[in-house]
Chains A and B, each alone.
Chain A
Amino acid sequence: SQTIHQWPATLVQPVGSPLSLECTVEGTSNPNLYWYRQAAGRGLQLLFYSVGIGQISSEVPQNLSASRPQDRQFILSSKKLLLSDSGFYLCAWSPLRENYGYTFGSGTRLTVV
């Protein structure tokens, strides 16, 4: 069966520090991968998606970047965090075929202080 792992679960980082959040999927190959952010009291915002290794699309301009160095690994990064980067970050995957649903990871609570 397929599983998705996301870590760390919580993170407190000072303003200006770097960020690296990792997401891996097991039990499938060539998945579509997604990073979402959920700010306090707000809905889910799609940040990045990837349909293959090295293929990254960004939905909104921001202080963050994403990379997909391996088929089932998706990394969210920042060189210098801002206070506004605080939020709940969720990784998700779906099969290539559009008639399948999404599966989400357990999320990372990021607080920038």
Chain B
Amino acid sequence: KQEVTQIPAALSVPEGENLVLNCSFTDSAIYNLQWFRQDPGKGLTSLLLIQSSQREQTSGRLNASLDKSSGRSTLYIAASQPGDSATYLCAVRGFNNAGNMLTFGGGTRLMVKP
């Protein structure tokens, strides 16, 4: 059974810092990995989708990498801003489960202080 772990569970940084969020998964039989952002009381907003054949994806100040063989992904946020404060979730879509569904990590709660 796929298990997804995110470290750290919470992170507080001053504005302007570059930071890295980590995600690890136990089963490398995946189609893709997706990073989401969730603001308090809101739904999930997709940030980046990395296919299993890809190594990284970039969108603005965000860069996500994927090392499928080692079961790891990182989300790099450059020049963090208070508006980046949210919970960040990674999820993998595997083909060893019925319906090829997403398995989520527990999330990293990020606070960027002005």
Please give the residue numbers on chain A whose beta carbons come within 8 Å of chain B beta carbons, in ascending order: 6, 32, 34, 43-44, 46, 49, 51, 57, 88, 90, 92, 98-107, 109
Contact of B34 among A34, A49, A102 (CB under 8 A): A102
Q: A-B contact count, CB below 8 Å?
A: 52
- The SS class assigned to the B binding surface is strand
Report the minimal beta-carbon distance from B111 to chain A, rounded to whole angstroms. 17
Interface pairs A-B: 4 shortest CB-CB: A104-B44, A101-B49, A98-B31, A106-B43
**Total residues of chain B contacting the partner, CB 8 A:** 25
Please give the residue numbers on chain B whose beta carbons come within 8 Å of chain A beta carbons, in ascending order: 31-32, 34, 36, 41-46, 49, 51, 89, 91, 93, 95, 98-102, 104-107
- The SS class assigned to the A binding surface is strand
Whether B43 lies near A104 (C-beta < 8 A) is yes
